[in-house]
C-alpha cells in the first residue's frame, strides 16, 4: 500500500482532522522535554475511543509501521519520541473521567486524562488521588502508568503501580484486553496489570484504568528544616515516621546549592531561613482524621529534633501560599539550575539508609570526571530516590555542549556506585531511549533475557515503541 493510501486509512478510522502529517503540525509531538532527542514521525494520530486505538494499531500492523504511544510528552528519557518513521498515537482526546466512586474509593478513567484533572475530580468528592509531580498539569495518567511514575508522595502512597486496580490495553495485534476490574485481591495467575505498568509503551497502549482513591487529608503541615549535616537526614526521617504515626507524605532532601539556585533565580522565591545551612529537608505530614491534633504532633516532632541537634532551624508554612513557595524551591530547582548552564542528571535510588554514603561517594567521583563540576543532589529521600544533578563548572568560559558530552561517562561512574550499594540506575523516570545501554550493563543477563522474552511474547514483530528499553 502507498503511504498516501495508508494515511487515508488512518483518516477513515479517526477522522481527517485527527491525523496530522505536516511537519509544522507534528512539531510539538516531536520535541522531547530535555532536548536530547528529536522525532521523525510519519503521522500523528489522535484517536477518540479504545476501538479507534485498536483499529489504528491494526492498520499499522498490517502496513508494518511502528507505533509510538504518546501521553503528555513530559517523559524525561525519550520514551515518546518517534525516531523510526513511526505513527505516534497521541492519547489527549481520550480524556473522560467515566466514574468516581467516593464510597468505594475508586475512579475509572480514560488514559488521556491529565493527572491534575484526576486529582481535582477526586478532591471534589472528598478523596485524594495521591500521585503528584511537577508535570501534573500536562502529563496523562496513561503516561504515568506506562512509566510507573513516582513523585513526591511515594513514601506514603507508593508509585503509580500501587495506585491502580485495573487496566484496559490495546495489544500490539490490535486486540483489546479489558482488565478494568476494581479489585484489590485478584490472584488469578500472572499479574497482567503489573506487566503493562512500567512497560513504557513497548507492550501495548493503555486506554483506560481503574484508580485507587484515598480519604482526602483534612490537615497538612509543611516545614522547611535546616540540617547540620548530611548524616542527620536519616535519623530525622526515621523520627518523622515514628512520631507522625507514619503519616509523612513527603520528605525531600535538598543540598545548599539547590536552595541557593532556587532563591537566586526563581521569581518570588527567597531563602526561607536567615542563616546558610549545608542541607535542608522539606517535610510534610498529613492527617485524614478530624480528631488528630496534627499541628501539635508536628511541632513536638520539630522540637524534639531540634533538641537532639538533628535540625538546627525550621520554618513552618502558615498559609497555602507559604506552603506553595516552599514546594517551589524543591520542584522548580531543575529550572533554576538552567540559569547556570548545563546539568547532567541521574535519577537513581539506593536503600534509604545508604543515601548519605551514595551522595558522598558520587560527589567525589563526578569531579574526577569533570573537574569543577558542581553536584546539586536533591530528591525524594523518603523513598530512596535522589536526583543527582551535576551542574557544569562555574565560569563564563565553560562550553555547555562540551560539558554535556560527558553525560555517559559521568553516568557510568555514578551508576557503578549505585549498583555497589544495591540501587537502581533509574528510580522513577524509566529507561526510554536514553538508558537502553544502562539496562544491558546494570541488569543481569537473566533479567534482561526475561524482559526480552516478555516483549517477544506480547509483541513478536517489535511494532510497539521499538528502540525503547532494548536496542
Ligand X SMILES: Cc1cc2nc3c(=O)[nH]c(=O)nc-3n(C[C@H](O)[C@H](O)[C@H](O)COP(=O)(O)OP(=O)(O)OC[C@H]3O[C@@H](n4cnc5c(N)ncnc54)[C@H](O)[C@@H]3O)c2cc1C
Site for ligand X, rule CB under 6 A: 33, 68-76, 79-80, 91, 111, 133-135, 139-140, 142-144, 146-147, 149-151, 200-201, 205-206, 428-429, 432, 465, 468
Q: Which of 101, 370, 301, 69 lies closest to 200 in space, CA to CA?
A: 69
**DSSP states of 239-308 as a string?**
HHHHHTTS-EEEEEEEEHHHHHHHHHHSTT---SSSS--SEEEEEEEEE--TT--HHHHHHHHHHHHHHT
69 CB-near residues (< 8 Å, 6+ apart)? 80, 88, 89, 91, 142, 146, 201, 205, 206, 464, 465
CB of 41 to ligand X, least distance (A): 12
Cell of 460: 513478536
User: 214 φ, ψ to 5°?
Assistant: -135, 160
CB of 246 to ligand X, least distance (A): 21
List helix spans (H) across 125-189: 141-146, 154-157
Q: Hey, CA dihedral for 458, 463, 465, 468, is it positive or negative?
A: positive
CB of 249 to ligand X, least distance (A): 14
Side-chain-facing half-sphere of 184: CA atoms under 13 Å: 7
Q: Which of 341, 207, 224 lies closest to 284 in space, CA to CA?
A: 224
Q: Which is nearer to ligand X, 134 or 466 (CB)?
A: 134
CB of 50 to ligand X, least distance (A): 11
- Name beta bridge partners: 221: 285
Q: Which is nearer to ligand X, 287 or 343 (CB)?
A: 343
Q: Which is nearer to ligand X, 167 or 227 (CB)?
A: 167
Distance CA 50, CA 212 (A): 22
CB of 248 to ligand X, least distance (A): 17
Q: Which is nearer to ligand X, 159 or 247 (CB)?
A: 159
Q: Which is nearer to ligand X, 314 or 381 (CB)?
A: 381
Q: Which is nearer to ligand X, 70 or 373 (CB)?
A: 70
CB 163 within 8 Å of CB 144: no
CB of 301 to ligand X, least distance (A): 25
Q: Which of 255, 434, 431, 388 lies closest to 329 in space, CA to CA?
A: 255
Q: Which residue is nearest to ligand X (CB)?
A: 143
Straight-line distance from the first to the last Cα atom of the chain, in angstroms, rounded to the nearest whole number: 28
CB of 429 to ligand X, least distance (A): 6
CB of 454 to ligand X, least distance (A): 15
**DSSP states of 151-163 as a string?**
-TTHHHH--GGGG
Q: Which is nearer to ligand X, 81 or 311 (CB)?
A: 81
Mutual angle of helices 233-243 and 355-369, in 10-degree steps: 150
CB of 24 to ligand X, least distance (A): 20
CB 161 within 8 Å of CB 194: yes
CB of 334 to ligand X, least distance (A): 7
Cell of 225: 528544616
Q: Which is nearer to ligand X, 142 or 356 (CB)?
A: 142
Q: Which is nearer to ligand X, 113 or 352 (CB)?
A: 113
CB of 134 to ligand X, least distance (A): 3
Q: Which is nearer to ligand X, 173 or 416 (CB)?
A: 173
Q: Which is nearer to ligand X, 28 or 264 (CB)?
A: 28
Cell of 305: 529534633
Q: Which of 183, 122, 136, 130 lies closest to 157 in space, CA to CA?
A: 130
Q: Which is nearer to ligand X, 172 or 298 (CB)?
A: 172
Distance CA 114, CA 140 (A): 4
CB of 170 to ligand X, least distance (A): 8
Amino acid at each position: 500500500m502507498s503511504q498516501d493510501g495508508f494515511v487515508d486509512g488512518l483518516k477513515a478510522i479517526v477522522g481527517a482532522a485527527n491525523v496530522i502529517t505536516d511537519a509544522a503540525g507534528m512539531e510539538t509531538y516531536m520535541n522531547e522535554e530535555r532536548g536530547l532527542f528529536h522525532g521523525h514521525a510519519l503521522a500523528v494520530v489522535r484517536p477518540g475511543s479504545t476501538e479507534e486505538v485498536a483499529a489504528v494499531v491494526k492498520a499499522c500492523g498490517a502496513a508494518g509501521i511502528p507505533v509510538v504511544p504518546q501521553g503528555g510528552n513530559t517523559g524525561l528519557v525519550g520514551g515518546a519520541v518517534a525516531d523510526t518513521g513511526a505513527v505516534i498515537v497521541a492519547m489527549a482526546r481520550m480524556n473522560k473521567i467515566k466514574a468516581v466512586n467516593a464510597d468505594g474509593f475508586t475512579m475509572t478513567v480514560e488514559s488521556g486524562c491529565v493527572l491534575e484533572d484526576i486529582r481535582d475530580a477526586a478532591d471534589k468528592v472528598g478523596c485524594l488521588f495521591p500521585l503528584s509531580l511537577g508535570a501534573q498539569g500536562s502529563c496523562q495518567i496513561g503516561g504515568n502508568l506506562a512509566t510507573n511514575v513516582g513523585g513526591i508522595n511515594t513514601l506514603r502512597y507508593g508509585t503509580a503501580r500501587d495506585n491502580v486496580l485495573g487496566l484496559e490495553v490495546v495489544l500490539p495485534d490490535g486486540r483489546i484486553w479489558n482488565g478494568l476490574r476494581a479489585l484489590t485481591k485478584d490472584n488469578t495467575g500472572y499479574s497482567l496489570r503489573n506487566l503493562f505498568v512500567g512497560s513504557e509503551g513497548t507492550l501495548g497502549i493503555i486506554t483506560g484504568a481503574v484508580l485507587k482513591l484515598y480519604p482526602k487529608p483534612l490537615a497538612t503541615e509543611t516545614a522547611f528544616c535546616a540540617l547540620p549535616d548530611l548524616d542527620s537526614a536519616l535519623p530525622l526521617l526515621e523520627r518523622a515516621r515514628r512520631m507522625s504515626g507514619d503519616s509523612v507524605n513527603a520528605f525531600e532532601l535538598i543540598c545548599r546549592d539547590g536552595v541557593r539556585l532556587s532563591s537566586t533565580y526563581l521569581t518570588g522565591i527567597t531563602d526561607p531561613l536567615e542563616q546558610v545551612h549545608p542541607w535542608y529537608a522539606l517535610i510534610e505530614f498529613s492527617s485524614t482524621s478530624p480528631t488528630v491534633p496534627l499541628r501539635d504532633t508536628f511541632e513536638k516532632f520539630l522540637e524534639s529534633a531540634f533538641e537532639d541537634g538533628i535540625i538546627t532551624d525550621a520554618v513552618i508554612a502558615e498559609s497555602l501560599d507559604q506552603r506553595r513557595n516552599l514546594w517551589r524551591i524543591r520542584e522548580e530547582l531543575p529550572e533554576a539550575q538552567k540559569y547556570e548552564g548545563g546539568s547532567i542528571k541521574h535519577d537513581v535510588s539506593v536503600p534509604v539508609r545508604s543515601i548519605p554514603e551514595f551522595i558522598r561517594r558520587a560527589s567525589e567521583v563526578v569531579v574526577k570526571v569533570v573537574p569543577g563540576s558542581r553536584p546539586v543532589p536533591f530528591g525524594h529521600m523518603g523513598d530512596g530516590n535522589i536526583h543527582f544533578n551535576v551542574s557544569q563548572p562555574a565560569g563564563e568560559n565553560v562550553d555547555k555542549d562540551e560539558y554535556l558530552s560527558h553525560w555517559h561517562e559521568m553516568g557510568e561512574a555514578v551508576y557503578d556506585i549505585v549498583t555497589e550499594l544495591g540501587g537502581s540506575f533509574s528510580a522513577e523516570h524509566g529507561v526510554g531511549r536514553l538508558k537502553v545501554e544502562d539496562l544491558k550493563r546494570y541488569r543481569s543477563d537473566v533479567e534482561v533475557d526475561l524482559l526480552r522474552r516478555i516483549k517477544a511474547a506480547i509483541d513478536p514483530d517489535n511494532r510497539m515503541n521499538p528502540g525503547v528499553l532494548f536496542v
